[in-house]
Amino acid sequence: MTHSLVDEIMERLVRSYEAARDPERAVSAAAYMRDQFAFLGIASPARRALDRVVRAGLPAPTEEDLSAVATACWERKEREYQYFACDWLRAHVANAGPNFLLTAHTLITTKSWWDTVDALAAHVVGGLVARHPQLRVEMDAWVEDDNMWVVRTAILHQLNYRQETDTDRLFGYCTRQAGHPDFFVRKAIGWALRQYARTNAEAVRGYLSQQGHVLSPLSVREAAKHL
């Protein structure tokens, strides 16, 4: 391969995405996201099919490759490129070391909205912390951050941990941010608790009985939805 991996991926990606551009669908997709981002107008199933072709035959990426490709995708105007980066990082998070958390932080705090932040929180940051437990202390700092998307990430990073969930951290984070003024943080609290209730409903019931009075009605409603 004469190009670097990032060059090869971006050339394939731009070529594939441009050929699939749908201006009419792009308008509706942008409207759904409150016109914060431009879109190519590629539906998710079609985009993921294109992504599989783009990734075919490529070597395993290094941590540097992961950072370079994600950065290149974040620099593109259309949102689908950021979706590709989130899916690619999710697939290769095992190749990243603890220092990759710095890159994840940059992605979370740039072009921030729930669609990319949640994917990065649950599948990238969550994967990093699971593989590098020393990063738990970073989550303790993130949950107190001034940036609401960083706070949301800390609350959601254990979303897929199931029996491996650190309940002291989960419940502690929810209590510490119970009065957060932003909808997206209060919603994340309810979502994190509801998800953990699928694994340990009694623990979530117990937490709500003891601390539900400090949570927002939104958080409690979301948490108890399936209890």
pTM for this one? 0.95
pLDDT of residue 58: 95
CA dist., res. 132 & res. 78, Å (int):
32
Give the C-alpha separation, 70 to 151, whole Å: 21
pLDDT digits (tens, 9 = 90+) for 114-137: 999 999 999 999 999 999 999 999
CA distance 53 to 147: 36
Which portions of the chain are predicted below pLDDT 70?
A: 1-2
pLDDT of residue 69: 97
